[in-house]
Structure 1
């Protein structure tokens, strides 16, 4: 049984911006991924709405990824693959962070993961960094505009190349979710994944993971 931890924010937790609730397990991308991979894999969801890479939110507690990543990692050891998709919340105007600052926060997080060698199978960290799809500028006319602040869409579009550079620097794999066909933002706030986007992301991840472990192919969803 291979253990895969999916660490992220509301787009891993499965926030449904149409209802304000949460997509069910069958809709969320980690749930799709578990189905596609089959019985030989344990896919663990570790998503939290509002989570950042390293920034402490002055309005809500417990949202800094770097402050909780070690106990989360150790609670699921031994881990074969750690999938990390963060960055969307880091662009909030209240953090006053540039895209470059956010990438440096990602580097700190990756270095922290790599220092926990005892949690990974074989003693070496296997990490996949996913750059989240950028926020659509139409979010400015949605209910979340006041929460995010100005210029968040523009800043989020700068993240993917910086995250790719950071992943390479740290020896992690990289995937730009914004380039996956079918990955789109739900047209209720333009910053959370639609159900189709969850499915598309899971499909791309399944292909990569099965190739990594030389498995036979993606299972059909029933």
Structure 2
């Protein structure tokens, strides 16, 4: 049986291409590139959903609350070697009225739920890695997504990683910060382009290699 890793996230895990308004092909998405680097011993499960939040029910769209879905999601893919969570971009939307610290709290909550789900190897709890997504560029507000997202998303997005790192340390959860390492695209300034997917795959692979080596599993 292959060693399974679930990547749980939003449109940047699903692979949204802002230029063509559709999904990037497999050979571009960071999840696929990450799987290729891991090799045939592993299976990477793409659990990305456009618009997904950590803990918020969106009044405009159905089924986007990650907290409500993560338990059955992880149990359906068990046994799991690792769960990777990258959320927070959608939680910055003005209509949710969350501070950057609130968003970090929500991600900590869903992370804790994943860590206590008996979806790991031999019925144990899986290891969890939380990724702080690249910050939204301030130019987003002047693009087509600006009306839907609302004001202040770039500021909250830029502040998120600091609070998230603090909470993950308290929770004893593995953490990866992409701030300053991966830029968003130059179209809507809140999605990864082809180069961003490559960079993220490399960062995640190096982090996961460290985690599994520490556990003597790689």
TM over 0.5: yes
Q: Structure 1: how far apart are the matches of 2:154 and 2:57?
A: 21
Q: Structure 2: how far apart are the matches of 1:47 and 1:193?
A: 14
Q: Structure 2: how far apart are the matches of 1:43 and 1:21?
A: 21
Q: Is the 8 A contact 1:106 1:166 kept in 2?
A: no
Output aligned runs, 1:1-222, within 5 Å. Answer: 1-116=2-117, 118-121=118-121, 123-180=124-181, 183-214=182-213
Q: Count matched residues.
A: 212
RMSD: 1.3
1:94-116 per-residue CA deviation (whole Å, 9 max, x = no partner) reads 00111111111112112211221
Q: Is the 8 A contact 2:37 2:205 kept in 1?
A: yes
Counterpart of 1:43 in 2: which secondary structure? strand
TM-score normalised by structure 1 residue count: 0.92
Give the drift of 1:179: 3.4
Give the drift of 1:170: 1.4
1:49-73 per-residue CA deviation (whole Å, 9 max, x = no partner) reads 0000000000000000001000100
Q: Structure 2: how far apart are the matches of 1:166 and 1:133?
A: 18
TM-score normalised by structure 2 residue count: 0.94
- Tell me, which stretches of 5 or more residues in structure 2 are unaligned? none
Give the drift of 1:210: 2.5
Q: Structure 2: how far apart are the matches of 1:67 and 1:124?
A: 18
Q: Is the 8 A contact 1:134 1:157 kept in 2?
A: yes
- Tell me, which stretches of 5 or more residues in structure 1 are unaligned? 216-222
**Pair 1:214–1:103, CA change in 2 (3 A):** closer
Q: Is the 8 A contact 2:78 2:119 kept in 1?
A: yes
